[in-house]
Amino acid sequence: MTHPRITDSHCHLDFADFDEDLPATIARARDAGVHRMVTICTKLGNEPKVRAIAEANEPVFYAAGIHPMSAAEEPLVTVDQLVALSQHPKFVALGETGLDYHYTADSAEIQKTSLGVHIEAAQETGLPLIIHARAADDDMARILSEAYRQKPYGCVMHCFSSSAELARAALDCGFYLSMSGIAAFPRSKDLRDIFAAAPLDRILVETDSPYLAPPPHRGRRNEPAYTALTARIGAEAFGLPYEEFAKATEANFERLFAKAAAWRP
């Protein structure tokens, strides 16, 4: 059986959870129709390992940045560092960066500073920004919107599970919302409604694996193959056949992640 092609726009293949079976994990993804994945580096010290995974596996691309929950304990990255990393042919986005006031509100100011550096690098390179936002909707909307007005850039709100107001602010800038396994949880109807109210041409899908496995795997390790499970829930939310929803999210990914779309082995 041939599955429609889709992309896992956000996973963490460098995590120890995949050390024992990464080749099999990638093979299962491709069998499920997940023909491409972007693995995310959250601390620059891990960038060589993440880069090596992308270099060794044809369907894998990568991004790098400082996760907001690590912003206070990692050296502040510079725009020049990020621009230098972006020269790699399989480096396709900046981040993840953003704001997390749920766990790390005490480091809010350094998070904002780090976010600003990543935004400037996105503006300079033309690569999209990958945003993590939790319990920081007002600051997140303000910072992203103000920077966009100064100089436009591309952006995806990764693993989006915030308010309709933040979704609207992001969409007003032409940004994208990414559906993770959270959107497939039975109690996430309000979140699915936020996605369904958004333009179809601004929706991506992801796993954020090894976290947030969708049903029927909830509570176990997530992996890129399960992008297809979340995408099926997304198709239902939009009232579309799976094939049509998959085609739309592929087109969206290639529009935002143009470097990945243009890459040839």
Give the start-to-end residue ranges of the domains of the chain: 6-262
Q: pLDDT-derived band of residue 1, with 50, 70 and 90 as boundaries? A: low
Is 0.95 topped by the overall pTM?
yes
Banded model confidence at residue 155, pLDDT cuts 50, 70, 90: very high
Query: Pick from 233, 239, 264, 265: which is nearest to 6 by CA?
Result: 233
The string of pLDDT tens digits covering residues 202-217 is: 999 999 999 999 999 9
Predicted pLDDT at 265: 85
What would the pLDDT profile of 75-99 be if each residue is shown by its tens digit? 999 999 999 999 999 999 999 999 9
> What are the tens digits of pLDDT across the range 44-57?
999 999 999 999 99
Domain 6-262: give its CATH code: 3.20.20.140
Interval 220-248: pLDDT, tens? 999 999 999 999 999 999 999 999 999 99
Q: What is the mean pLDDT of the chain?
A: 97
The total of other beta-carbon atoms located within 10 Å of residue 80's CB is: 11
